Amino acid sequence: MKKLTKEDIMNVDPLKKDLGKSWIKVGMSTCGVAAGADEVYSTLIEESKKRNIEIDIRKCGCQGACSVEPLVEVNVEGLPKVLYGRVTKDVAITILERHVRNKKLLHDYIFEIN
């Protein structure tokens, strides 16, 4: 990696990374991983390839709602940003099909906290 300069840090557009793009984030801290976030993350990666669903899937830290881990945050253009809790492998696949592809939110897994 090249050494960063003052300009590199001061001139980043903070919105560049997120805005307008569709992404999925999986909370991968200890409690998330303990609750099965690893499996959810790899399911999302594999299944999105298999089903030809194009979406940026990333890891992130703890969202704080530990009792409902694993947590998956989904941002799809035209829909509100949604936090899903207690996500299993099956739910992860449903998120891809229903939420990402068909733009319909899932029942019973959304947590509107904070």
Partner 1 sequence: MQKKIIYLRDTDSAQQDRINDFYTLFSNELRDANLQEPVQLVKIADIGLYEKGITVKILPENIVYSGIKNTDVKRIVEETIKGNKIIKELLYEKKSKQMRAVLKNCGYIDPESLEDYIAAGGYKALIKVLLEMKPENVVEELKKSGLRGRGGAGYPTWMKWNFARGMNSPEKYVICNGDEGDPGAYMDRSVLEGDPHSVLEGMIIAGYTIGSSKGYFYIRAEYPLAVERVQKAIDQAVSAGLLGNNILGSNFNFELEIRLGAGAFVCGEETALIASIEGKRGTPHPRPPYPSVKGLWGKPTIINNVETLANIPKLIAGGGAKFASVGTEKSKGTKVFALTGKVKNSGLVEVPMGITLREIIFDIGGGILNNRAIKAVQTGGPSGGVIPQEFLDTPVDYENLSKLGSIMGSGGMIAIDETDCLVDLAKFYLKFCVDESCGKCAPCRLGGYQLLRILEKISEGNGELEDLNKLKKISYAMQKASLCGLGQSASNPVFSTIRYFEDEYKKHIVEKKCQAGKCKALIYFKIHPQKCKKCGLCMKNCPSSAILGSREAGYVIDPQKCIKCGVCFDVCKFKAVMKE
Partner 2 sequence: MTKKDKLQADLEGLVKKWKDKKGNLIMILHSIENIYGYVPRETSLKLSRLLNVPLARIYEVITFYNYFKLEPPGKHNVSICMGTACYLRNADSLIEEIEKILHIKEGQTTKDEMFHLDVVRCLGCCGLAPVMMIDEKVYGKVKKNEIVDILSKYVKEEE
Residue ranges in contact with partner 1 by CB under 8 A: 1-6, 8-10, 12-14, 16-17, 25, 27, 29-31, 33, 58-68, 71, 73, 78-80, 85-86, 104-114
Cα distances (Å, whole numbers) of residue 47 to 40, 52, 66, 111: 10, 8, 26, 24
How near is the Cβ of 60 to partner 1 at its closest, in Å? 5
> What is the nearest approach in angstroms of partner 1 to the Cβ of residue 102?
11
- Give Dmax (Cα) for the chain: 47
Contact 89, 43 (CB under 8 A): yes
Query: Site residues (CB under 8 A) for partner 2?
Result: 30-31, 33-35, 65-69
